[in-house]
Structure 1
Amino acid sequence: MLARLASASLRGLDAEAVDVEVDLSRGIPCWSLVGLPEAAVREARDRVRSSVINSGFEFPLRRITVNLSPADMRKDGSYFDLPIAIGLLMASGQIQLDNALKLSSSASVSQNESKLPFLIGELALDGRINPVNGVLPLVLFARSHGFQSIILPTDNINEVAAIDDIQIYPAANLLTVVEHLTGFKAIEQAYFETDDTQISENIPDMCDVRGQQQARRALEIAAAGGHHLLLNGSPGVGKSMLAKRLPGIMPPLTSEQALEVTRIYSVSGDRSRPAMSKLPPIRTPHHTASNVAIIGGGSNPKPGEISKADFGILFLDELPTFQYYQYSNQDRQYAG
């Protein structure tokens, strides 16, 4: 009546080991979820219950205790839904697996001996597996801890399928995962081919600019040396036009840089950028953006515009209108 699965919890751009333990015991039917779960994790009991029933399985009328270990570390995110549901089905005997799979070792220990995949996914009420944020750091964690395969939502496949040395299986619903684990019907493994010369054709080209030789020279020096650039001039002389064409003359990202940028966008939940793109990112925040939006942070810290512009360009159009510029001017006045 006990099942234990290895999982992980996001901490910034990395992940930390978490054990998902599901225990069924005699008593009045109830559900208890412990281990410092945040709101999204606590709500998993309602999603898991409906998903299990609507997938054709029986929800056990027992006293259910779900523990997310270690208990002194806060857990946030809906990606615990799938391992909790599978653990519930394992503990109730509805999934018949080998003993080595039923009680896998702790997530902090290498699991080369375990054939149970690393599970990630948020469950819908009808059993579908919805995409989640932060999949890439979780996959990198699973690979570093000896997992041979991983099951995740189909919509998250593009941002992680380029990872080597681990088998990626995209799943559409809970029933598909159960059939894969029991050997009834295997999920087709995902393959992803990257193009090292991948550059978007929609980038404004520097050849569109006529004249502005001095400004063009400044952009070339900034792109070659990775320098900061301040464009100052009268309205309408072409400052924004030149700045928007800077990515077109920058070198493409390396594979390591593209992986780092993809991990930042994965954690922030921003899917506006293609995964593993070699194009340097360009971010153009509005001058009314808050401190958290620019710098990052919050109650559950997320990357800001500065982090999303890593290895790329942070374009602050009309710089004097940004509150940071105004604060710095006030500080100079007070100091004077």
Structure 2
Amino acid sequence: MITKAYTVAFEGVDARIVEVQCAVTAGLPAFSIVGLPGKSVSEAIERIRSALTAMAVALPSKRITVNLTPADLPKSGSHYDLPIALAVLAALEIVPAAEIEAFVAIGELALDGAIIPVNGAISAALAASSEDKDLLCPAGCAPEAAWVSSTQALGVTSLTSLVQHFTGNAVLPPAKPGEVASTEHVGDMIDVKGQERAKRALEIAASGRHHVLMVGPPGAGKSMLAARLTGILPEMTPLEALETSMVHSVAGLLSGQGIRRDRPFRAPHHTASMPAIAGGGRGASPGEISLAHNGVLFMDEFPEYNRNVLETLRQPLETGEIAVTRANAKVTYPCRIMLVAAANPCRCGHLADANRACSRAPVCGEDYLGKISGPLMDRFDLRIELPPVAYSDLDLPASGETSFEIAKRVRAAREIQEARYENLTAINQNADIEGNLLEDVATPDSESRAFLEQISDRFGLSARGYHRILRVARTIADLDQSEMVRKPHVAEAVSYRTSLSQQL
């Protein structure tokens, strides 16, 4: 008799159903796994053998063959332990074979039969839902898997409790969705002294998910402003939270208690490698650009990053996804991010201060910022120059608006965009619009159009630069609750686009 169980093979944030077939036949005693298993899957034999021994279950003196199909799909990971053990238990008639076929199972077995949490529970739940099956998973993964409401997730603590469930002695209840409260402290914008223009630019960027480049001397507040950006962003929608949590689940970054609703803020060091930023390494895991999906990727000391790393950003910033290709894997991860980059005006950082600048000024500034290629620079919708903060400003009491007040305007602008694009699945914010849709929603009036033509001729704007000005102008108009894009909106958008033109 051949018994069956079901599990998944992960392909990035997606999962494919894998059928686990177990046959007990006459012949020399042996336990083998076929179907292109990786080393971690082959090692499951010893883990399962030890777990069954802990349950006082002895394997028969027969040949046990486990086949993972489709056989041409590479399998790796310890999450195959539980479905293989289930297929074996069904073959030994310890659990009913017909009942386990109604489930997709994932989980790693400890030597004593305990079931250890694994990555990718949300993706596995979605795959189970697509096949009208329920999910068996470690108890630590169940709160996150339960967010997929179209399937039931049963959290299992041990192989013994699973046997008791299928024999009716102790039925496992469906897990409830869990949510992790944010433990990260996000400062308030009112803490930043001065830099009102930069605060305004970040408000615009947050409203339309535009990319930002901040250039200023050390201590001007670039990192401080970026760290407070998530405090003015609206909470993720349930769909966004699920998308982001899928990436974090595959990367093993969820705490096991559920999913988080606050937007991710990732700040890799400038020495980070290509796989760390773009993704790759063992198993083609997601990189920082994907871990920041639906949130903020802050890259401080931007020109100090490896040139190849920077150029890798160009295509994902346009498409909102990145393909990670390796010899044994090719996966696509989402990366709809808001990129915030910060840089000093030159290597020493004091280009504008004649008393402190180095002897190579201003050539050093041109060389330093020149490390950012033109095509990559073209993708920054807003470019801000931050002046040094005067000592007199630091002595003043906190002033300006709080993050809560700014966030209300950002939320209102995003609600306008959600209503505008509600029938378009691939577009959520103004940063996504292009082509005919851009012409329809961001067409400026005649005065603004004439002004744009003058700016385009003077600064030699590319077609991408022209369209990005229109997108930013549309966002500024949304902040003003204006249905029409007018000259003041276009003029402000242009000011952020051309402010660094003389240096770059």
What TM-score, normalized to structure 1? Answer: 0.88
Matched residue, 2:107: 121
Report the Cα offset of residue 332 of structure 1: 6.3
Deviations 1:228-256 (A, max 9, x none): 11111110111110110000001111111
**How far, CA to CA, are the matches of 2:308 and 2:40 in structure 1?**
37
Among 176, 191, 201, the alignment partner of 2:161 is 176
| CA positional deviation for 1:214 | 1.0
**Segment of structure 1 superposing worse, 161-170 or 236-245:** 161-170
Native 8 Å contact 2:103 2:128 kept in 1: no
**What is the deviation of 1:86?**
1.3
The answer on whether the counterparts of 2:3 and 2:87 sit within 8 Å (CA) in structure 1 is: yes
CA displacement at 1:325 relative to structure 2: 7.5
By how many angstroms is 1:331 displaced?
9.3
1:192 is displaced (CA, Å) by 2.5
> Partner amino acid for 1:144?
S
2:30 aligned partner: 30
Q: Deviations for 1:239-284, whole angstroms, at most 9, x for unmatched residues?
A: 1101100000011111111100000011111236974322111101
- Decide whether the 8 Å contact of 1:200 with 1:279 is kept in 2: no
Identify the residue that residue 43 of structure 2 maps to in structure 1.
Answer: 43
Amino acid of the structure 1 residue aligned with 2:98: A
Whether 2:216 is the aligned partner of 1:233: answer: yes
Tell me how far apart the structure 2 counterparts of residues 120 and 153 of structure 1 sit (CA, whole Å): 7
Separation of aligned partners in 2, 1:182 and 1:274 = 28
State the SS of the aligned residue for 2:219.
coil
Note the C-alpha offset of 1:158.
2.8
Question: Identity rate of aligned residues, in percent?
Answer: 42
Task: Give the Cα separation in 1 of the matches to 2:296 and 2:63.
Answer: 54
Change beyond 3 A, Cα 1:165–1:307: same
Asked whether the equivalents of residues 319 and 325 of structure 1 are also in contact (C-alpha less than 8 Å), the reply is no
Map of 1:212-291 to 2, 5 A cutoff?
Answer: 212-271=195-254, 275-291=258-274
Q: Which amino acid in 1 is paired with 2:147?
A: A
After TM superposition, give the deviation of residue 225 of structure 1 in Å. Answer: 1.3
1:297 is aligned to 280
- Show the counterpart of 1:112: none
SS in 2 for 1:93: coil
Q: Find the aligned partners of 1:181 and 1:222 in 2 and give their Cα distance.
A: 53
State how far apart, in whole Å, the 2-side matches of 1:172 and 1:236 are. 51
> What SS class does the counterpart of residue 80 from structure 1 fall into?
helix
Contact 1:51 1:126 in 2 (8 A): yes
Alignment of 1:316-331 (within 5 A): 316-324=299-307
Larger Cα-atom Rg: 2
Q: Secondary structure of the equivalent of 1:261? A: helix
Deviation at 1:7, TM superposition (A): 1.9
1:75-129 deviations in whole A, cap 9, x for unaligned?
Answer: 111111111111111112223x2x6337x4xxxxxxxxxxx33221100001010
- CA drift at 1:54: 0.8
Confirm or deny: 8 A CA contact 2:55 2:113 kept in the other structure. Answer: yes
- Whether the 8 Å contact between 1:179 and 1:185 is mirrored in structure 2 is yes
Shift of the alpha carbon at 1:187? Answer: 1.4
Which range moved further: 238-247 or 210-219?
Answer: 210-219
How far 1:8 sits from its partner (Å)? 1.7
Relative to structure 1, the CA distance from residue 120 to residue 72 in structure 2 (aligned partners, 3 Å threshold; closer, same or farther) is same
The answer as to whether partners of 2:5 and 2:19 remain within 8 angstroms in 1 is yes
Aligned in 2, Cα 1:231/1:134: closer, same or farther, shift over 3 Å? Answer: same
Deviation per residue, 1:192-247 (Å, 9 max, x gap): 3669xx76672212122222211111111111111111111110111110110000
Question: Within the alignment, does 1:311 sit opposite 2:257 as a pair?
Answer: no
Cα-to-partner distance string for 1:133-163 (whole Å, 9 max, x where unaligned): 111111100011111x322111112322222
How far apart, CA to CA, are the structure 2 residues paired with 1:199 and 1:56? Answer: 44
Tell me if the contact between 2:40 and 2:78 (Cα under 8 Å) persists in the aligned partners: yes
Q: Supply the distance in 1 between the matched residues of 2:248 and 2:41 (Cα, whole angstroms).
A: 22
- Equivalent residue of 1:231, what SS? strand
The secondary structure found in structure 2 opposite 1:79 is: helix
What is the aligned-residue RMSD (CA, Å)? 2.3
1:128–1:174 CA contact under 8 A, matched in 2: yes
1:152 matched to 2:150: no
Q: 2:124 aligns with which of 120, 138, 142?
A: 138
**Residues of 2 paired with 1:191 and 1:185: CA distance?**
18
Q: Do the aligned residues in 2 keep the contact of 1:320 with 1:326 (CA within 8 Å)?
A: no
What is aligned with 1:64? 64
SS for the counterpart of 1:155 is: coil
Paired with 2:230 and 2:80, the residues of 1 have a C-alpha distance of 38
Paired with 1:291 and 1:325, the residues of 2 have a C-alpha distance of 8
Q: How is 1:60-139 mapped onto 2 (pairs within 5 angstroms)? A: 60-95=60-95, 97=96, 100-101=98-99, 104=101, 116-139=102-125
Deviations 1:22-71 (A, max 9, x none): 11111111112100011111111111111111122222221110100111
- Shift, 1:330, TM fit: 6.4
**Secondary structure class of the residue paired with 1:169:** strand
Structure 1 residue identity aligned to 2:109: L
CA distance in 1: counterparts of 2:146 and 2:310, whole angstroms: 44
2:301 partner amino acid: E
Q: Distance in 2 between matches of 1:90 and 1:200?
A: 44
